[in-house]
C-alpha cells in the first residue's frame, strides 16, 4: 500500500539526481565518503580474560572487526556471539575450527590461548589459509617458533605477534627521538616488569602450558623494550633467579628473575621480571645527551613519559584498538610498522628468553647465537 511518504520520496528522487549531476563536486564528494574501506575480519580464538580486553577494545577499531569466535565452551560462544553480533555460522569449537578455511567472513584469527597451544593453533590456522595474529610469547621455544614461521610462509599468510606497545604513540615517539640522536649514544636501559600473581592453579603457573613463569608472561616486555629502544640486538645475557614460594612456583616456573643484556655498542640493559612484587612498571633509557623515563609502561595506560627534552603529550589510545588497526594496515595494505611485529620479531625474543633461562641455571654468561 502506497503512503504519502512513499509518494514524496518518489517525487523528489529525479530532482535529487538532476541536482547531483549539476553539482559534480558534491556528487564526487558523496561517492568518496560513502565508499567502504576494507576492514580486517577477525576471529578471536580462546575467549578468556585477555580476549575480553581485546574484544572490548576492538569496538573502537576503524579497520578491524570481530566476525568469528573459537572456544571450547559453548556457553561462552553463545554469550559472545550475542554481545559482539557474531553470526552463529562463524562460531567454532576446537574440533571444528579447521572449517574456517571455507568461511569468507574471516580473514585472520587472533590466537589468545595458553603458550603451549600456540604452535598447534598457528599451523592449523595457516593451513586453513587465514592470517595469524598470535599472542606473545609466540611459542615455548625457538624450534616451535621456527615451525610456525615456516608454516605461515608456506601457506602464504601473515604471522603477526601481539606486541601492542609497538603501536603505542609515546613509545613510538621515544624511538623516533633515539633515531634522531636526541639521547646521544645510549649507555643504559633499565626495565621493571612485575606484579603479584593470583590463583595458583591458573595455566600461567603450569610449566607444561606456560613454558616458564614471570619471564614468559611479564618479563618479555622489558626484554622486548630493551631491543626496540636501543635499536639493536643483545650479544650476551646473564641472569639470577630468586624463589621464595616453592609451593606456588614449582620447578621450571620462575617467580623472580633479574637479567642483564650486553649489546655490541657497549650499552647494558638491566631488567627485573617478577610474579611476586607490585609496582614494577617502568622503562628507563639514558644516553650521553639525554634520557627517557616511561612509567605505566606495560599495562594499559595512559603512560607517563618524561624526557630530557620535556614530557611527551601524545594522546592516549586504547592499546589493543591501536594494535588491531595497525595490524589491519599490515595485512590489508602491507603498511610496515616502525617496530616489527612479525614472526621473526617473536623468534628473537624467544631465543633471548632461552638464553636467560640457561644463564640463570648455569650462573654463566650466555652468548646469543
Catalytic residues: 136, 221
Neighbour tally for 147: CB within 10 Å: 14
Whole-angstrom Cα distance, residue 217 to residue 271? 14
Q: Is 260 exposed, middle or buried (0-12, 13-18, 19+ CB in 10 A)?
A: middle
Distance of CA 173 to the CA centre of its chain: 18
Residue 347: closest CA among 255, 257, 233, 268: 233
Angle at 79 between CA 77 and CA 85, to 5 degrees: 90
Q: Please, which residues have CB within 8 angstroms of residue 300's CB and are 6 or more apart in sequence?
A: 53, 318, 319
Q: Please, which residues have CB within 8 angstroms of residue 293's CB and are 6 or more apart in sequence?
A: 282, 283, 284, 305, 306, 307
Tell me the backbone φ, ψ of residue 196, rounded to 5 degrees: -90, 115
Q: Is 89 exposed, middle or buried (0-12, 13-18, 19+ CB in 10 A)?
A: exposed
- Set of cell numbers at residue 187: 649507555
Amino acid at each position: 500500500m502506497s503512503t504519502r511518504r512513499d509518494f514524496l520520496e518518489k517525487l523528489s528522487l529525479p530532482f535529487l539526481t538532476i541536482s547531483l549531476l549539476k553539482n559534480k563536486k558534491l556528487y564526487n564528494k558523496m561517492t568518496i565518503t560513502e565508499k567502504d574501506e576494507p576492514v580486517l575480519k577477525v576471529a578471536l580464538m580462546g575467549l578468556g580474560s585477555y580476549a575480553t580486553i581485546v574484544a572490548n577494545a576492538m569496538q573502537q577499531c576503524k579497520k578491524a572487526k570481530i566476525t568469528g569466535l573459537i572456544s571450547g565452551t559453548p556457553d561462552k560462544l553463545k554469550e559472545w556471539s550475542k554481545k559482539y553480533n557474531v553470526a552463529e555460522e562463524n562460531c567454532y569449537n576446537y574440533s571444528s575450527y579447521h572449517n574456517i578455511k571455507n568461511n569468507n567472513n574471516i580473514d585472520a584469527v587472533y590466537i589468545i590461548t595458553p603458550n603451549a597451544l600456540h604452535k598447534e593453533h598457528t599451523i592449523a590456522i595457516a593451513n586453513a589459509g587465514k592470517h595469524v595474529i598470535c599472542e606473545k610469547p609466540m611459542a615455548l621455544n625457538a624450534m616451535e617458533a621456527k615451525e610456525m614461521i615456516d608454516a605461515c610462509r608456506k601457506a602464504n599468510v601473515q604471522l603477526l605477534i601481539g606486541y601492542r606497545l609497538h603501536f603505542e604513540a609515546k613509545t613510538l615517539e621515544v624511538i623516533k627521538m633515539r633515531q634522531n640522536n636526541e639521547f646521544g649514544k645510549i649507555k643504559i636501559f633499565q626495565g621493571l616488569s612485575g606484579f603479584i600473581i593470583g590463583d595458583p592453579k591458573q595455566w600461567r603457573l603450569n610449566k607444561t602450558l606456560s613454558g616458564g613463569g614471570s619471564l614468559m608472561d611479564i618479563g618479555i616486555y622489558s626484554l622486548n623494550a630493551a631491543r626496540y629502544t636501543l635499536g639493536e640486538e643483545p650479544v650476551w645475557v646473564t641472569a639470577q633467579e630468586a624463589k621464595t614460594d616453592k609451593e606456588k612456583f614449582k620447578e621450571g616456573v620462575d617467580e623472580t628473575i633479574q637479567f642483564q643484556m650486553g649489546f655490541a655498542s657497549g650499552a647494558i640493559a638491566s631488567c627485573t621480571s617478577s610474579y611476586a612484587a607490585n609496582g614494577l612498571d617502568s622503562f628507563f633509557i639514558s644516553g650521553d645527551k639525554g634520557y627517557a623515563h616511561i612509567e605505566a609502561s606495560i599495562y594499559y595506560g595512559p603512560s607517563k613519559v618524561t624526557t630530557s627534552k620535556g614530557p611527551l603529550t601524545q594522546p592516549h589510545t586504547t592499546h589493543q584498538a591501536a594494535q588491531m588497526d595497525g595490524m589491519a594496515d599490515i595485512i590489508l595494505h602491507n603498511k610496515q610498522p616502525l617496530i616489527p611485529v612479525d614472526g621473526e620479531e617473536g623468534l628473537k625474543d624467544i631465543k633471548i628468553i632461552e638464553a636467560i633461562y640457561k644463564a640463570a641455571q648455569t650462573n654463566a654468561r650466555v652468548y646469543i647465537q
